[in-house]
Structure 1
């Protein structure tokens, strides 16, 4: 089982970015479709300030413009498509947080 020290929720990309800057979490789960600032822009800003950030993007459509840009630019370590299977999510979290893997730059 994975242990969590803290889980924070952001209502939009700007809030996610602000919380990241303050909390510096070990892992970010980011939805791409959010108000105020989308997940693509939030991932880009997080990556700019912390190139080693561990980011898992969760999206309803891996073919959307935002998903393709996020994948192409290597802004996330992994991508999951909704609906997310809980056991798959746990396995991906374990892999991302326990390895020093490079950014996944696949062209799904």
Structure 2
């Protein structure tokens, strides 16, 4: 689980993303304003502040899965680029093993 938080014009913006389940949730002042399932290396969430300004968050993962970036834009201007570095990507091997096992079971069933 990766979590980013940033203050945009006195509003707390939080992005929670799970590389295990693919669930991404964007919170604005504690309320979910966007949610999606994504295993893509890049996704985007759009939201609007109470003053009507359009904002967006981009979630970008590198191909190794060791680094994730969260870019926050307000009115198409970059406000912040937040970085999360995973020191030891222990779960990715288990994810691949689980997916391979499930694929084998599915193929055996068919």
- What range describes the TM-score normalised by the shorter chain of this pair? under 0.3
User: Larger relative contact order (C-alpha < 8 A, sep ≥ 6)?
Assistant: 1
TM-score normalised according to structure 2 size:
0.24
Structure number with higher helix proportion: 1
